[in-house]
């Protein structure tokens, strides 16, 4: 099993009560079970989901105390006796789906995000805001050795999720995709995946800094929802025939944009809901939904194959989404910026600081 160099204690950011804040402290290093691996996490992206988890936003309780984080990239340092296909020293990643039963109706057909008994990293089991994290061997992301662990960490949730959502939207090369919340962590990834697939993107977010970034990483157009007098018309005008985008991916963390999307999506178009604002509901006029044949659907992370495909886009050098790196000890500062909507792209934490 393990090597002598694994310490018994490690630094971690711990949510001790719902609502936060996180507490930076030393905790024991966990030991992997027979079907698990222990990963020495080097870097972890900070997803807005981690903030929802700390705040207790969702109708699903978290474990407490909780180590958050589900974009953790690192090196395998120990494995249980049943694990055969991952070696000590391999690169691997902790993603949102830490494990699933592998035996239910959904798992049997590789819809494992829908498993009724999932373990969720940084939510129902401890995640990647610690130096050593555990994952089920059949679910941890396989990361090729040539990949940079810092840059790949946000792929492990943001990248996989938007890659899947773009596929679920049915949008094709040459068509238009509107990305709502394009300046955030998932949004900036979505712009890069869509660009790699030959899809035109219309980015919606707020502020000049995000607008500049969206344009730099591939948005064909940027609509600033804080300044636009008519977002619906601006989005439609951004398509060559002014009929609106073929698909919309809604990543925003408030309810309004989910309702607005049905006003500008092209007839027969698809709205994919991905963002998870607290206490939000979908509302769309039945008349328009019927007579314009609008599809409204959800998309939730990705399965193991989606994960491998999303990582392969990155390995090929097609995905260069912007990120800033700070020490794990500064996680609470990242949450403050996130709450205010002031993060362009993603923050990554370095677990050694």
Cα(344)–Cα(219) distance, integer angstroms: 14
Q: Which stretch binds Zn ion (CB under 5 A): 73-81, 103-111, 126-134, 277-285?
A: 103-111
Q: Does 301 bind ligand NAD (CB under 6 A)?
A: yes
One residue of 22, 76, 194, 204 binding ligand NAD per CB under 6 A: 204
Q: Map residues 155-174 to x or -, x wherever contact with ligand NAD holds by CB under 6 A.
A: --x---x-------------
One residue of 22, 39, 47, 214 binding Zn ion per CB under 5 A: 47
Q: Does 137 bind Zn ion (CB under 5 A)?
A: no
Cα(131)–Cα(352) distance, integer angstroms: 8
Q: Does 321 bind ligand NAD (CB under 6 A)?
A: no
Structure-token match 């079907």, residue found: 35
Instruction: Answer for the pair 294, 304: CB distance below 8 angstroms, yes or no.
Output: no
One residue of 157, 252, 253, 334 binding Zn ion per CB under 5 A: 157
Instruction: Answer for the pair 275, 181: CB distance below 8 angstroms, yes or no.
Output: yes
From the list ligand NAD, Zn ion, none, partner contacted by residue 107 (C-beta under 5 to 8 A by kind): Zn ion
Q: Does 100 bind Zn ion (CB under 5 A)?
A: yes
From the list ligand NAD, Zn ion, none, partner contacted by residue 307 (C-beta under 5 to 8 A by kind): none
Q: Does 343 bind Zn ion (CB under 5 A)?
A: no
One residue of 10, 40, 44, 49 binding Zn ion per CB under 5 A: 49
Question: Would the CA dihedral through 72, 75, 77, 82 be positive or negative?
Answer: positive
Q: What DSSP designation does 93 have?
A: E
Q: Does 276 bind Zn ion (CB under 5 A)?
A: no
From the list Zn ion, ligand NAD, none, partner contacted by residue 253 (C-beta under 5 to 8 A by kind): ligand NAD
Q: Does 254 bind ligand NAD (CB under 6 A)?
A: yes
Q: The tokens of 177 are what?
A: 């995709």
CB-CB neighbours of 120 under 10 Å: 22
Q: At a CB cut-off of 8 Å and minimum separation 6, what does 15 contact? A: 22, 23, 53, 54, 62, 64, 65, 66, 67, 68
Q: 257-284 burial, b for 16+ CB within 10 Å, e for fewer?
A: bbebbbebbbeebbbbbbbebeebeeeb
One residue of 184, 211, 244, 245 binding ligand NAD per CB under 6 A: 184
One residue of 253, 265, 294, 319 binding ligand NAD per CB under 6 A: 253
Question: Concatenated DSSP letters for 147-186?
Answer: S-HHHHGGGGTHHHHHHHHHHHHT--TTSEEEEETTTSHH
Q: Tell me which residue of 75, 65, 73 sits closest to 126, measured CA to CA.
A: 65
Q: What CA–CA distances, in Å, run from 10 to 73, 78, 172, 190, 327?
A: 16, 15, 46, 34, 14
From the list ligand NAD, Zn ion, none, partner contacted by residue 301 (C-beta under 5 to 8 A by kind): ligand NAD
From the list Zn ion, ligand NAD, none, partner contacted by residue 101 (C-beta under 5 to 8 A by kind): Zn ion
Instruction: Answer for the pair 175, 344: CB distance below 8 angstroms, yes or no.
Output: no
Q: Does 205 bind ligand NAD (CB under 6 A)?
A: yes
Contacts to ligand NAD by CB under 6 A:
47-49, 52, 157, 161, 180-181, 183-187, 204-206, 225, 251-254, 256-257, 274-276, 299-301, 338, 341, 343
Contacts to Zn ion by CB under 5 A:
47, 49, 100-101, 104, 107, 115, 157
């Amino acid at each position: 099993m393990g090597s002598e160099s694994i310490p018994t204690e490690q630094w971690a950011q711990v949510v001790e009560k719902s609502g936060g804040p996180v507490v930076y402290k030393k905790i024991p290093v966990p030991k992997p079970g027979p079907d698990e691996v222990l990963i020495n996490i080097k870097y972890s992206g900070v997803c807005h989901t981690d903030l929802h988890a700390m705040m207790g936003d969702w109708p699903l309780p978290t474990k407490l105390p909780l180590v958050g984080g589900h974009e953790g990239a690192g090196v395998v340092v120990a494995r249980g006796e049943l694990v055969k296909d991952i070696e000590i020293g391999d690169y691997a990643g902790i993603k949102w789906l830490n494990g699933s039963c592998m035996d239910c109706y959904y798992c049997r057909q590789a819809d494992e995000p829908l498993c009724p008994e999932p373990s969720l990293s940084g939510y129902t089991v401890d995640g990647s805001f610690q130096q050593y994290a555990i994952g089920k061997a059949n679910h941890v992301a396989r990361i090729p050795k040539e990949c940079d662990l810092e840059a790949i960490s946000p792929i492990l949730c943001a990248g996989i999720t938007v890659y899947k959502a773009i596929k679920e939207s049915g949008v094709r090369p040459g068509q238009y995709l509107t990305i709502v919340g394009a300046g955030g962590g998932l949004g900036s990834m979505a712009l890069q995946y869509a660009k790699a697939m030959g899809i035109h993107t219309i980015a919606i977010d707020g502020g000049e800094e995000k607008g500049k970034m969206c344009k730099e990483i591939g948005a064909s157009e940027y609509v600033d929802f804080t300044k636009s007098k008519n977002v619906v018309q601006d989005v439609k005008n951004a398509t060559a025939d002014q009929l609106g985008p073929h698909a919309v991916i809604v990543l925003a963390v408030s309810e309004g944009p989910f309702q607005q999307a049905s006003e500008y999506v092209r007839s027969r178009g698809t709205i994919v809901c991905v963002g998870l604002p607290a206490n939000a509901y979908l509302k769309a006029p039945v008349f328009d939904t019927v007579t314009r044949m609008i599809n409204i659907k959800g998309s939730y992370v990705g399965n193991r194959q989606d994960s491998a495909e999303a990582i392969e886009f990155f390995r090929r050098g097609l995905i260069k989404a912007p990120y800033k790196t700070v020490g794990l000890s500064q996680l609470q500062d990242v949450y403050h910026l996130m709450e205010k909507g002031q993060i362009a792209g993603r923050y990554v934490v370095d677990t050694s600081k």
